[in-house]
């Protein structure tokens, strides 16, 4: 945690132990730094106070695994199972997903599955806004912007085979974090996690499934690689996880392009304040209000991320919003 006035004038004199008594979301190293920062903070204080009132809701998860859990899962754990054609209702939270997939709540698999579940949630939120989706061919073309850690966890996207069994899902992962040697790489996923029961329905032969998931990696900013991305077709949906729109000026050209495409675009961010600042940037660039107001993502990653300035709860893919 850093002093909210760090880098503004005099140097910090110690740890940030003085919290704003009103919002309790920011802290300072000294009274003088708190006073010097007030002209900036007074614009956000009431908003942060309201966001701090939602802390218990944001921190609520159904899991029983320890906070120290990592993505290094035990290979001895029984894997989940689900008949991919049996999902008869929209999943609305981790508890429903874990029940459907018969996963015990002490499994930290949600740390990885936040990526495909967030895509699934984005599709469900916007399916009514995707009239150009090729329903006859059951194809969903998704442009996925700014991948980072996902590049080392691409197998997790195979879960979309179970979540969207009626679709062929093609995902273009476009961002500067794509390694040079993987630029243009195509990945076909035809399996999702199965259980140990050899007779289980989840062992359905691949050729009998109507779904498929294909990924393509492209290095660079979306607006720079757009011509390459759309060679195989325009998107039905754009997803930008943990976008940090307010923090990166390079988003401006991509947002202008997305606005011209007139397709649903869903963004996520780590905390509610980051989502608020991003929404303000989106409105400034596009001249429009959000089509999808800021909402808590029910499939946010259940492992807290420490914010350097705010005491707000932060999780990967924590809040969703869109244009």
Per-residue pLDDT reduced to its tens digit, 259-280: 999 999 999 999 999 999 999 9
> What percent of the chain lies above the pLDDT cut of 90?
77
Indicate whether 67 pLDDT > 90.
no
Calpha distance 266→145 (Å, rounded): 10
Longest pairwise C-alpha distance within the chain: 69
Tokens 């329903």 sit at which residue?
A: 135
Across the range 41-51, mean pLDDT stands at 96
Is the pTM above the cut of 0.85?
A: yes
DSSP 259-308: HHHT--EEEEESSHHHHHHHHHHHHHHHSS--SEEEEE-TT--SSB---S
Q: Cβ contacts of residue 104 below 8 Å, gap of 6+? A: 98
Q: Cβ contacts of residue 311 below 8 Å, gap of 6+? A: 1, 19, 24, 25, 26, 27, 52
Reference 6, options 50, 36, 49, 51; nearest CA is 36
217 phi, psi to nearest 5 deg: -100, 135
Per-residue pLDDT tens digits for 14-42: 999 999 999 999 999 999 999 999 999 99
- Residue 190 pLDDT class (50, 70, 90 cuts): confident
Using CA atoms in the order 57, 59, 65, 68, what is the torsion angle rounded to 10 degrees?
Answer: 180
- Residue 135 pLDDT class (50, 70, 90 cuts): low
Beta-strand runs (E) in the chain: 18-19, 27-28, 139-145, 168-175, 186-189, 212-219, 237-240, 265-269, 292-296, 319-322
Phi-psi region of 203 (alpha: psi -120 to 50; beta: other; left: phi over 0): alpha
Per-residue pLDDT tens digits for 142-165: 999 999 999 999 999 999 999 998
- Residue 10 pLDDT class (50, 70, 90 cuts): confident
The pairing of beta strand 237-240 with beta strand 265-269: parallel
pLDDT at 65: 76
Three-state SS at 237: strand
Q: Cβ contacts of residue 224 below 8 Å, gap of 6+? A: none
Reference 150, options 244, 238, 68, 217; nearest CA is 217
């Amino acid at each position: 945690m850093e002093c909210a006035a760090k880098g503004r004038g005099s140097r910090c004199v110690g740890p940030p132990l003085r919290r704003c008594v009103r919002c309790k979301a920011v802290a300072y190293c000294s009274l003088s730094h708190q006073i010097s920062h007030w002209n900036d903070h007074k614009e956000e204080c009431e908003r942060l106070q309201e966001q701090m009132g939602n802390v218990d809701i944001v921190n609520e998860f159904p899991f029983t695994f320890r906070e120290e859990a990592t993505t290094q899962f035990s290979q001895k754990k029984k894997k989940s199972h689900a008949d991919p054609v049996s999902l008869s209702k929209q999943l609305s939270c981790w508890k429903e997903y874990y029940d459907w997939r018969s996963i015990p709540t002490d499994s930290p698999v949600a740390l990885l599955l936040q990526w495909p579940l967030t895509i699934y949630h984005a599709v469900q939120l916007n399916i009514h806004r995707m009239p150009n989706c090729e329903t006859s061919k059951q194809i969903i073309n998704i442009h996925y912007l700014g991948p980072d850690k996902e590049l080392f966890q691409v197998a997790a996207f195979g879960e979309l085979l179970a979540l969207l069994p009626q679709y062929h899902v093609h995902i273009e992962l476009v961002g500067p974090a794509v390694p040079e040697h993987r630029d243009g790489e195509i990945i076909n996923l035809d399996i999702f996690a199965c259980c140990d029961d050899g007779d289980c329905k989840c062992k359905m032969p691949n050729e009998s499934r109507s779904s498929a998931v294909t990924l393509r990696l492209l290095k660079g900013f979306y607006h720079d690689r757009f011509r390459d991305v759309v060679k195989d077709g325009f998107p039905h949906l754009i997803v930008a996880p943990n976008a940090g729109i307010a923090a990166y000026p390079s988003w401006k050209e991509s947002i202008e392009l997305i606005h011209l495409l007139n397709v649903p675009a869903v963004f996520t961010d780590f905390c509610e304040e980051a989502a608020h600042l991003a929404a303000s940037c989106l409105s400034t660039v596009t001249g429009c209000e959000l089509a999808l107001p800021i909402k808590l993502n029910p499939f946010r990653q259940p492992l807290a991320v420490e914010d350097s300035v705010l005491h707000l709860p932060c999780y990967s893919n924590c809040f969703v919003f869109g244009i």
